[in-house]
Amino acid sequence: MKDLLTMTGMAKTSVDAGFSRVGRRLSSSDPADRALMILAARAIAQANAVMALCERGLANESLPILRGLAEMCLIMRWVAERDCGTRAEVALEELRDPDWETHWPSARLRERAKAYGVSAASIDSVLAAADFARGNAQGLPWGHLYAEATKHGRKPEEVLPVAADFLGHALKALDTRWPGEFTGAEEMWRRAGISRGQ
């Protein structure tokens, strides 16, 4: 698992180094700069939470956070792709909305994931709620009586490559906005694929 944690942690190193290089060029009045910085910060914070839960044997409990991580990373790709200012304003406005459904519409995630070439395994991992809802639910006394509560749930070896896959998309978005300053997306995707046996 140490290799998987290192792979996922690579993103923070790349994001920190990239923002250190572009920091003087950032404009507080540029909506794209602002949105990508905020979204990158959220993505890294969520990735840190996923890693911490996985380290503690609670990978299944990280699935809702992984879902949020996927959203942040794909929104970053969408903002950086084109019409950055306009799309950034839309993304920032959505972040002001307190409703989870605004932030996590499954249809939009599927559409963007397909557009950006996210693996089917990663998409399934962030949209499959059954593992989260029933995984390890037999932990209470006599919980073993209910078969629907005996799913094993996700393991760190399944969750961390998905986190790395989406973090690769965050890096790709930042590198699209600031070419050559945020490298590592392809390496993240390659290592995530290897860890899944692809």
Note down pLDDT in tens along the chain; length 198 residues.
788 888 888 899 999 999 999 999 999 999 999 999 999 999 999 999 999 999 999 998 999 999 999 999 999 999 999 999 999 999 999 989 878 777 788 999 999 999 999 988 899 889 877 666 666 655 677 777 776 666 677 889 999 999 999 999 999 999 999 999 998 888 888 877 766 665
Q: What share of residues in the chain are helix, strand, coil (percent, to 5)?
A: 80, 0, 20
DSSP label of 140: S
Domain extent listing, the chain: 2-121+155-195
pLDDT at 97: 84
pLDDT at 153: 78
Instruction: State which H helix or E strand residue 18 sits in.
Output: helix 2-22
184 Rama class: left (phi>0) / alpha (psi -120 to 50) / beta? left
pLDDT at 136: 64
Phi and psi dihedrals of 152, rounded to 5? -75, -25
Q: What distance in Å separates the CA atoms of residue 10 and residue 5, rounded to the nearest whole number?
A: 9
Say whether pTM exceeds 0.95. Answer: no
Q: What distance in Å separates the CA atoms of residue 167 and residue 162, rounded to the nearest whole number?
A: 9
